[in-house]
Amino acid sequence: MKLKSIISMVIMVVITLSIYSVSYADCWSGTTNKVNSEGKIYFWKDSSIESYGYSAKFTSAISNWQFSVDAMSFSNVTSADDYTDRWYVGDTVISGLGGQIIPRKKNWLGLWVTADLDEDWSHCKVYVYDNQMDYYNLTTLERVSNITHELGHSLKLDHPSTTQISVMNQGIQDIGPSAYDEQEYLSKW
Ligand SMILES: [Zn+2]
């Protein structure tokens, strides 16, 4: 290959990489709850949170995300409307699955469906799985970190696309949001 075409290929690769790095944030697009303009996430807690013994752990996970006055506050409501997140603790047969979120929206027929990650969500359901955390002998701190991770997804934070210290990394950890996570959060909201 001629040097000139090698150079132009290199330029093409560099341009492609820079577009990629600009457009690929570690947050999903769109909004959630429609109340984010108020700087609040409204959530409703299923009774499973208390019955599985996770009330204090969820409280710690909430405070993990309220790292500054600029951070969104979480507001507990006793009945859920269309724009209220719903939080649950349960068990799953899926080995190694510590938790998951299910983003939801109404389709054009007015029926509730799972939303794409990059769409506007009306709300999302947050699940953490007690039997999996038991199976891997997670400490209290690791369980709080796992809940913090799932709440991060409910705030539209994705897994890091680059190597980072982050509560949004997959796997067992015992950390809260890192400087990187706070930056991602503040760039999103
Ligand atoms: Zn995750």
Q: What pLDDT, in 10s, does the model give residues 110-125?
A: 999 999 999 999 999 9
For residue 172, being part of any structural domain is answered with: yes
**CATH number for the domain including 173?**
3.40.390.10
Instruction: Please answer whether residues 97 and 129 qualify as being in contact, where contact means their C-beta atoms are separated by less than 8 angstroms.
Output: yes
Higher pLDDT, 14 or 161: 161
Q: Which residues contact 189 (CB under 8 A, 6 or more apart)?
A: 36, 39, 71, 72, 155
Range of the domain at 86: 31-188
Say whether pLDDT at 21 is over 80.
no
In a domain, 86, yes or no: yes
Query: Could you tell me the distance, in angstroms and rounded to a whole number, from the CA of residue 38 to the centre of ligand 1?
Result: 26
Give residue 101 CA to ligand 1 midpoint distance, Å: 9
From ligand 1's centre to the CA of 170, what distance in Å? 6
Question: Is 11 contained in some domain?
Answer: no
Distance CA 15, CA 145 (A): 37
CA of 171 to the centre of ligand 1 (A): 8
Domain count, the chain: 1
CA of 1 to the centre of ligand 1 (A): 44
Any domain includes 62 = yes
Least confident of 72-76, 104-108, 134-138: 72-76
pLDDT at position 17 over 80: no
Mean pLDDT throughout 99-103? 97
Residue 134 within a domain:
yes
Q: Is the pLDDT of residue 140 over 80?
A: yes
Q: Which of 124, 127, 119, 70 is nearest to 94 (CA)?
A: 127
Q: Residue 6: pLDDT above 60?
A: no
What confidence tier does 169 reach under pLDDT thresholds 50, 70, 90?
Answer: very high
Radius of gyration, alpha carbons of the chain:
19
pLDDT value for 189: 85
Residue 132 lies in a domain: yes
Average pLDDT of 172-178?
97
Q: What is the mean pLDDT of residues 140-164?
A: 96
pLDDT at 71: 81
pLDDT at 2: 54
Q: Is residue 7 part of a domain?
A: no
Q: How much distance in Å is there from the Cα of 3 to the middle of ligand 1? A: 44
Q: Residue range 41-63: average pLDDT?
A: 97
**Count of positions (residues) in the chain:** 189
Give a yes or no: residue 51 inside a domain: yes
Distance 112 CA to ligand 1 centre (A): 23
For residues 100-104, give the mean pLDDT: 97
Instruction: Determine the distance separating the centroid of ligand 1 and the alpha carbon of 118, expressed in angstroms.
Output: 15
